[in-house]
Each structure stands twice: as C-alpha cells, then as structure tokens.
Structure 1
Amino acid sequence: MSPGDEHEAAGGYAGTGHTRTRLPDNEPYGARRGGRSSSRSLVTVVGVVVLLIAAIAFANRGGDDSTSTEESASGPEATSTAASGERPVDSKSGGVPAGFGHDRQGAESAAANYAVVLVSADFLKPVRRTEIVRQVFVADKQAALEGKFNQTYSKEFLKNVGLDAKGNATAGSTYVSRTMPIGTKVTTYSDTGATVEVWCTGVFGTTGERSTNPVTSDWFTMTLQLRWADGDWKIESFSQEDGPAPVPGDDRASSADDMAKAVEEYGGFTYAR
C-alpha cells in the first residue's frame, strides 16, 4: 500500500467501517490552533502515521461470540475502571507486558498495554515490529499480518514521514509516538475471547528545527479482539476510530527540544486493573 493510498484510507478505513471526521477550522475548536491550520497537510501526515494501523483490513476478524456475555444496555458501571489491587504483570525480554490474568480484568490490562505498543515509535522499526507482532498477536495471524505491516510501512512511507529505512529519525531529530490509555471497556467476554475498547490520547510527530511533522496530540479509541491462547491474552484483530476528544486547552506549546527531552527522560507505564 502506497503512502498516497494511506491518505485515502484515512478518510474511510478499509474493512473497518470507521470514517474519520475532521472538525472545521472555526470557533471554538479552531480558535487555539494558531499556525496549525496553515500546515494542515503536514498535520494530516502525522494523522496518517497515528491512525495507519486502522487502515489494514484484517481477515476473519473476531472470534465466536456465541458463548460471550455482553455488558448491560446501560453501559459499564462507574466502578468498572477502579483499581483491583492486583499486581501489574511482569514483562518479557522484549519489553512488552505479558502474563495477564485469565479474567475480565486481565483482558482489559492486556488491551491497554497492547494499545500502547501498537501505536509506539518502535512499531515503525522493521526489526522491532517483527518482534512485537510475534509477541502480541495470535500465532495463526502473525505471518499474514507481518507481511501486511511491512507493505504498509514501506521505505517510501517512512521517508515521507522523515524516517530512514530502519525507522529512525535523522540526526538531530526525535520521532515521538507515545500513547496513554484513559480507560477501558469490555463489550464482550468469555473464557476464550474478549472485545475491549481502549480510549486513548497521545503525542505524535518529529522534533527538530527542520521537522515538517511537529509533535501534536490526538484522541482515539482502539477496539481489540482478544483470544486466550498459549496461556495469555493475544490480539486477533483490532481497529481504531477518532475521539472522544475534549475542547483544546490554552496550554502553550513547548519547544522541539523540550519535547525531545521529555520523551527521553520520562518512561512509560505498565497498565493493570
């Protein structure tokens, strides 16, 4: 899939049924965008990077929900994201959390941690991406997905977003892709599979004086179809859509150097219920 195709996919994700909706640049949402409106095409490129994963059409999405149970029509209870008191899971050598509990809360923890890694800067690096795919996806999906990801994140695409063939930013620049889950919601659950929605925000872009992709923020919801396999929750398929997003605040944008320093000095979290 070419970069141009990805721009088209950003309007209607292939096979996902999700459509991106952009708010017009007027009050009140456009009031605090400043110079961003004049570089809309550049911000669109960032959006493509962030949401590119949603453009892949996954075959045989989901599992058999015949034995699953759904949340009530009124939605999850207010305590559904309260801390359970369980210890966070241990991480494997690859740095991706693993060993989630075989229960509803374990599925939520898995979905939150997997959302972080799927929209990380590491996922644009071919070698690291292969390791991640083999660690977080079910075995029977790995080969096909690895091929699709490699085709999507081609050398041409990486070049267009300022990265080399290995997914690294040029000297003096730092590529930023950091995702923070806000909350999770289980929509279906059984002992063998679960569907979990993860509401996220994040910062994405490239720092540096010559960067054409300034670091910006985004809000999105990722839906993950999980399967219990090999003693852990694994991803069978996933999709992504915009929002819910709040009205932008009055925060002053930090310099590129400050953003690069923050990414280097502040580590991420392992999420657990």
Structure 2
Amino acid sequence: MSHGDDHGYGSDSGSGRTDDGYSTLGGTRQTRTRFPDGSGGDSYGGSRRPARGSRSLVMVVGVVVLLVAAIAFANMGGGGGDSGSSDSNGGGSKAEAGAAPTAATGTKPVTGKNGTIASGFAHDQQGAQSAAANYSVALDSVDMFDASRRRQIVNAVYAPTVAAARQGNLDKVYSGEAFLASIGLNPDGTAPSGLTFISRSNPVGTKVVKFSGTTASVSVWYSALFGLAGEGSKNPVSESWFTNTFELTWINSDWKVTDFTQKDGPVPVGRDQAASPAEEMADAVKQFGGFTYAR
C-alpha cells in the first residue's frame, strides 16, 4: 500500500503523528495521477482519456483519501518533522551533500535473511542504505495485507521496542472491512476473482542524511505502484512518488527501524505513453520479481 507504513511506518514516541496527516508507507496517498484511457473496456488500454466527469473524479479521489487516512492512523505516534533537519540521532554528523555512486563497494551487503527479508546488513553507511531500501519494499508490499506475513515483516523490520506497538496499530487498519472495501479488496485482504492486487515500492536511490555508527538517518526515494489490475477494476494501478527518511538503530547485529517521516516526490514528468492492458500489467507483476537492494 507505498504506499505505507506500511503505508505503515510512523513515529514511535507517544505524542502524536507528524503534522502531515497523510504520511504513509506501504499504501498510497493522494498525488497527481494520469489515468489511462478505458477504451475497449480495458482499464489499462489506450492513450490518455479526456477529462473525467466530476462525479467519477470525486469517487476516485475519495477512495485514495480513505486509504491514506486509514494507513496514517496505523502510524500514530510521536516524532515528526523533516528527519533531514533533525540533529537527534545520537549526535552523529550529517552526511556530506551530493550523491554517492551506486557502484560496488567491495563490502558484502547481506549475509542472510529474516523470513523473506534480507538481514545481516553491513555495520556502515552502505549497510544502513541497503537496509532502508529493502525495508521500504517489504513495508509497501502486498504481504502487509496478510495477517501472518504482516507480523513477520514488522518483527523483522522494526526495533523490538517499537514492533509491538506498531503491530497493534497495523492490525487494526488491515483487518478493517470498511478500509479493505474502499480499496476494492475482500474482507480477508485478497483481491476479488479475476483481479490482481498490486502494491510495490521501487527504490530509485538512497541518501545518508546522518550517521553516527550506532544510529543512522537514511532517505529513500522511490516510486510506488498501487491498485487492482484486471477487467472492470474501479481502482486501476497508478504510480506515485515519495521520499521516506528512516531512523535506524544498530541492534542485535543489524539495522532496525525506529521512526520515519515522508514527503511527496520528487515527481518526474510523465511521458506520453499508452497504459498497458490489464492482463499485461498483472502478468508483469507476477513475472518480474523484486530485488535485494544493496550498494
């Protein structure tokens, strides 16, 4: 759901969420979206359609807002603000400006896995960036809509002091029938027959905001795909862009999430490409697996 926290991350102190009530991860949030043409009865076929009627537009926006509000509730907690400007990470210094090349560093990125999530990240800036990228993928995945897999993800990604509280909030959101119905899913979180549910985060790059050795602040810029692919879908798969900044701590020989903040973009200008047919979109997600992100 990017689109999240999931659509699910959030602050973990107890004083209230960030000022942005729509901050998410593992879900989606309201962004500028170019909807494809529905010619030929295909939710994904054809070129751009003319402007929608106001009633149709209100319905689409309403579903997105419902999703955003529900996921944001799961992340209620303290903290907030732009992590990039914070100086509370154990006194660590801010990283130098400028992007480091996404090239091999000679350090092995991961040595194992925790369930389906990479683990054993290097105890350095490279390892922190790799952890943040991989965690953003897990927390924005379809697996967050399955109760047992969601618990595994939360326990693998969050620090033990944070995981229990986060789990309870996420369970309330993801088990809500009204919420699931608003995004077109069945009460058990599965897609209706004939449709494929898609929720995938695609990291474009990472940046170390601050690093102190035992704590790190890492930003992940990513695109998110979210929606239902298939004939007759009322929530076709759309793309949005976000930057999430994760607060990480080194614990039990690995990096774990303690907090996060989110902002929109940077959002690129969309090319004038025809949207793919529903079947092609669904097949692509099934056939193209995700990556283990590392430098």
Tell me which interval the TM-score lies in, with the shorter structure as reference length: 0.7 to 0.9
CA distance, structure 1, for counterparts of residue 222 and residue 232 of structure 2: 29
More helix by share: 1
Specify the alignment match of 1:234 in structure 2.
256
SS in 2 for 1:144: helix
CA distance, structure 2, for counterparts of residue 117 and residue 36 of structure 1: 35
Specify the alignment match of 1:180 in structure 2.
202
Specify the alignment match of 2:77 in structure 1.
58
**Do the aligned residues in 1 keep the contact of 2:202 with 2:223 (CA within 8 Å)?**
yes
Does the alignment pair 1:120 with 2:141?
Answer: yes
CA distance, structure 2, for counterparts of residue 189 and residue 45 of structure 1: 39
Letter in 1 for 2:271: G
Distance change in 2, residues 1:227/1:245 (3 Å): same
Q: Which runs of 5+ in 1 are unaligned?
A: 1-13, 26-31
Specify the alignment match of 1:110 in structure 2.
131
Specify the alignment match of 1:29 in structure 2.
none
Q: 1:34-183 residue pairs with structure 2 within 5 A?
A: 34=49, 37-38=52-53, 39-40=56-57, 41-42=59-60, 45-46=63-64, 49=67, 53-54=71-72, 56-59=75-78, 64-72=88-96, 75=97, 77-92=98-113, 94-153=115-174, 154-183=176-205
**Do the aligned residues in 2 keep the contact of 1:220 with 1:240 (CA within 8 Å)?**
yes
CA distance, structure 1, for counterparts of residue 238 and residue 208 of structure 2: 29
Deviation (angstroms), 1:44: 5.4
Deviation (angstroms), 1:213: 0.4
CA distance, structure 1, for counterparts of residue 191 and residue 202 of structure 2: 22
CA RMSD across the alignment: 2.8
**Do the aligned residues in 2 keep the contact of 1:19 with 1:241 (CA within 8 Å)?**
no
SS in 2 for 1:92: strand
Q: Deviations over 1:11-37 (max 9, x none)?
A: xxx722337785699xxxxxx853575
Q: Deviations over 1:123-150 (max 9, x none)?
A: 1222211111111100011111111111
Letter in 2 for 1:132: I
Q: Which runs of 5+ in 2 are unaligned?
A: 1-15, 23-29, 35-46
CA distance, structure 2, for counterparts of residue 136 and residue 269 of structure 1: 17
Distance change in 2, residues 1:174/1:43 (3 Å): farther
CA distance, structure 2, for counterparts of residue 166 and residue 232 of structure 1: 33
Specify the alignment match of 1:7 in structure 2.
none
| Structure-2-length-normalised TM-score | 0.76
Specify the alignment match of 1:218 in structure 2.
240
Specify the alignment match of 1:262 in structure 2.
284
Specify the alignment match of 1:15 in structure 2.
17
SS in 2 for 1:133: helix
CA distance, structure 2, for counterparts of residue 237 and residue 134 of structure 1: 14
CA distance, structure 2, for counterparts of residue 47 and residue 35 of structure 1: 23
Distance change in 2, residues 1:33/1:235 (3 Å): farther
Distance change in 2, residues 1:266/1:170 (3 Å): same
SS in 2 for 1:79: coil
Distance change in 2, residues 1:42/1:234 (3 Å): same
Distance change in 2, residues 1:200/1:270 (3 Å): same
**Do the aligned residues in 2 keep the contact of 1:195 with 1:226 (CA within 8 Å)?**
yes
SS in 2 for 1:97: strand
Deviation (angstroms), 1:96: 0.7
Deviation (angstroms), 1:246: 0.8
Distance change in 2, residues 1:44/1:192 (3 Å): farther
More off after superposition, 92-101 vs 211-220: 92-101
Letter in 2 for 1:57: M
| Structure-1-length-normalised TM-score | 0.82
Letter in 1 for 2:118: P
Distance change in 2, residues 1:124/1:137 (3 Å): same
CA distance, structure 1, for counterparts of residue 17 and residue 199 of structure 2: 25
Deviation (angstroms), 1:43: 5.1
**Do the aligned residues in 2 keep the contact of 1:207 with 1:259 (CA within 8 Å)?**
yes
Q: Deviations over 1:163-213 (max 9, x none)?
A: 123321011111001111011111111121111110001221101212110
